[in-house]
Amino acid sequence: MEKNNSKKINDHLANERTFLAWITTSLGIMGFGFVVVKFSLFIQQVTLMLNSKKTMNIEHEYSGVVGISIVIIGSVTVVLAYIKYRRVVKQIEEERFTYGSYGIALMSACFLIIGLLLGWHLIDSL
């Protein structure tokens, strides 16, 4: 086996591992968003069961919006990971890897949005 070919194989395998790490991250993000939505529904149902004569004020309830936003961000992560994976595959084959930080900056912005949404939700629920 040629040394250059072996290096390409290792590069492709590393690229695939990175892609799978991003997929795992996106699944975690989506799962977290799902939990935020479902936990809010659970709390609402328990409150209604315990306080059946009181009406529940849900006009300031943002868990659904926050949770769905987090799931959408997780879904966008999958798409961005695939685009980055395909771009790196092409670069490996052409033997011209160029560093790009746009994906990292975009994902950092998405995680910042998640943090801000959760912070907003927690502050509003006080």
Tens-digit pLDDT profile for residues 81-94: 999 899 999 999 99
For 96, the 3-state DSSP assignment is coil
- Maximum distance among all Cα pairs of the chain, rounded to whole angstroms: 77
For residue 70, name the pLDDT band (cuts at 50, 70, 90).
confident
**Domain positions in the chain:** 3-124
- Say how far apart CA 4 and CA 42 lie, in whole Å: 57
Tally: H helices and E strands in the chain: 3, 0
User: Given the structure tokens 């801000």, which residue do they identify?
Assistant: 116
Tens-digit pLDDT profile for residues 32-59: 888 888 877 776 777 777 775 555 554 4
For 41, the 3-state DSSP assignment is helix
For residue 61, name the pLDDT band (cuts at 50, 70, 90).
low
